[in-house]
Amino acid sequence: MANGITIYKALTATDIFTDTTKTTAGLFYGNGGSLTGNNFYTSSISASNKSYYWTVTDGEGTGSQKLFDISFGHYYASGSDLSAGYNSSNRESEAIYKQFANILLDDPIAKFTFSDVSGSDSGTEDDFIYVLSAKTAKMKDRIDQRFTVVLSGSLNDGSSSVLSLTNYTNSKYPSIAGDYYKVISGSAGDPAADADLIDAGTAYTTGELVTYGHFWPNLGTIVFSGTQLSGSIPGIHAESGSVGVTDGDIGVSGGFAPDVRTDGTAINHKKLWHGLESGSVVMRSEQDLNQTTYYCRMYHNEYNHSSNPTFIVSGSTLGDILPSMIGDPHVYVTGVGLYNGFGNLLAVAKLNVPQKKNYNTELTVAAKLDG
């Protein structure tokens, strides 16, 4: 206010209202919400990166969309190429494990622990993990909680097995990377009817839901327990019959028991690829659409004057005000400006029709901004 005339007016909390609308869209081509494994491909990435992760796409060539990154982590670097010596090698699986521990657990030397939903056990530290991360260009603000990931593989006897996993929406835990949830047997956010009976070979009592991993929706990341995946779908080598061994680059054990070779031939994240390739994914992204309304209120004793030259007597060198504008001036509001605390103009809201303003009228202009 200057010389009794209002120029700037601070908005209060009651003058500002933000409305948030959540929208969801499928993660796949054409906003589709599901994709079967036979439609998954891997993109071309540099040879130096392939030992750390693979990128899953929905097609071949430059027109395909990148959907996920898949990787394998081991706390003690098992499965890494240690042919140059432990201290001279890159220790790829260890780097992956500790990278996600640093991001999600805020402690690069901590181990992931997957306790059952019932809370009847404190969980055991898991030395190895499989990770699926949605590409940020597709996931928008977060991944919708009602996802379904179907993994397929083989058991010790060579018979096939299918594991359908989803988010347990009734679980919610805080972390440095935002809230996370537990991954259980089921689909679309609902536990499977026999979820309390599915485990890695141990008898569980009724009501206990086995945790197969943790899900961070804001990061679009699922960290699977290697112990639980390999317990449910261990896989078997086609030639030797030994569990968890792969055959070089072909590498299909049909399950998740880790390949612990350190001569550069192990490709453990390919196990997750084959599980997806024989399964399917139902997943949607979620986005917040914010619209903030600023109620700019002009009371009867405010904004009744103008610096417009039409207020001044024509030809006056002293700035004399027109007699009709003295005592009971009438002005017309054509718009409002929104400023920050430093006096910088951030937005202008224009009115379709000028609105008359004087000491007997009050106006409220609702300026709406998206974002």
What is the tens place of the pLDDT at every residue in 185-218?
Answer: 999 998 887 665 444 444 444 456 889 999 999 9
Strands (E), 33-99: 34-36, 41-42, 53-57, 66-74
Integer Cα distance of 225 and 108 in angstroms? 17
**Residue 369 bridge partners (DSSP):** 292
- Residue ranges, the chain, pLDDT below 50: 1, 197-206, 237-252
Integer Cα distance of 244 and 255 in angstroms? 7
pLDDT tens digit string along 233-263? 988 644 334 444 444 433 445 789 998 889 8
Please give the distance of CA 78 from its chain centroid, rounded to a whole number: 29
Q: How do the domains of the chain map onto residue ranges?
A: 13-20+288-370, 28-282
Q: Which of 155, 279, 157 is nearest to 229 (CA)?
A: 155
Q: Which residues contact 61 (CB under 8 A, 6 or more apart)?
A: none
The predicted pLDDT at position 139 comes to 83
Asked whether the CA dihedral 194, 196, 199, 205 is positive or negative, the reply is negative
Integer Cα distance of 99 and 109 in angstroms? 10
The predicted pLDDT at position 199 comes to 46
Q: Which residues contact 38 (CB under 8 A, 6 or more apart)?
A: 277
Instruction: State the DSSP code for 64.
Output: -
For residue 323, the one-letter residue type is P
The predicted pLDDT at position 200 comes to 43
